[in-house]
């Protein structure tokens, strides 16, 4: 596939990520604006950092969900941390599910928390797959530096 076609595909995926509300346009554009010759892959680096850090936070949340008695304050605190990261990269759908989880925490509804956490994980994984495709194509199109 020639470079122009690839670049068109990249732009299409990016537009779709925003239109389908996977990503907040303003936040994502701000991250893109932080890319320059010295940091050409900043967005991909931040997203990679987000997913690496998520692993740790998810582990903490899983542990807190299975520990008895449930410490809802701790649960809320872990999710608050994760929600902060989702907000910083503009992950709208993931953040939405985090807010749901937080509400179940405040209501001390453990079943609600468990269901909400499953949704957080689903949206988190869906976004990861979408972004992986986007960054891979971006590299192929010569838009990323290796």
Partner 1 sequence: MDDHHQLINGVAGRNPETNKITALIVDDNMVNQTIHHRLLHSLGIENQVVGNGKEAIDVHCSGKIFDLILMDLDMPVMNGIEATRKLRAMGIRNTIVGVSSRSVNEHIQEFVEAGLDDYQEKPLTISKLLSILRKVRNQAEL
| Residue 91: strand pairing partners | 23
48: Cβ contacts below 8 Å, ≥ 6 apart: none
Told to check if 34 binds partner 1 by CB under 8 A, we report: yes
Give, rounded to a whole angstrom, the gap between the first and last alpha carbons of the chain.
19
Structure tokens at 93: 């759908």
Is 100 an interacting residue with respect to partner 1 (CB under 8 A)? no
Positions 107 through 146 that interact with partner 1 (CB under 8 A): none
CB of 11 to partner 1, least distance (A): 23
Nearest distance from C-beta of residue 44 to partner 1, angstroms: 12
Q: 102 or 140, CB closer to partner 1?
A: 102
Q: Which of 6, 14, 41, 42 binds partner 1 (CB under 8 A)?
A: 42
CA distance 114 to 72: 12
Under the binding rule (CB under 8 A), the answer on residue 55 touching partner 1 is no
Site string for partner 1, 60-79 (x = CB under 8 A): -----------------x--
The 3-state DSSP class for residue 23 equals: strand
Residues 6 or more apart whose CB falls under 8 angstroms from that of 17 comprise: 23, 28, 130, 131, 134
Interacting residues with partner 1 (CB under 8 A): 26-27, 30-31, 33-34, 39, 42, 45-46, 49-50, 53, 77, 80-81, 83-85, 87-90
């Amino acid at each position: 596939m020639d470079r122009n076609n690839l670049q068109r595909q990249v732009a299409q995926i990016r537009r779709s990520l925003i239109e389908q509300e996977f990503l907040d346009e303003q936040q994502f554009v701000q991250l893109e604006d932080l890319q320059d010759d010295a940091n050409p892959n900043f967005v991909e680096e931040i997203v990679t950092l987000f997913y690496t850090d998520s692993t740790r936070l998810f582990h903490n949340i899983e542990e807190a969900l299975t520990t008895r008695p449930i410490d809802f304050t701790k649960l809320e605190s872990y999710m608050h941390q994760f929600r902060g990261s989702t907000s910083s990269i503009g992950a709208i759908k993931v953040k939405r599910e985090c807010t749901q989880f937080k509400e179940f925490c405040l209501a001390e509804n453990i079943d609600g928390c468990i269901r909400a956490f499953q949704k957080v994980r689903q949206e988190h994984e869906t976004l990861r797959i979408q972004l992986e495709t986007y960054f891979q194509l971006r590299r192929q199109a010569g838009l990323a530096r290796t």
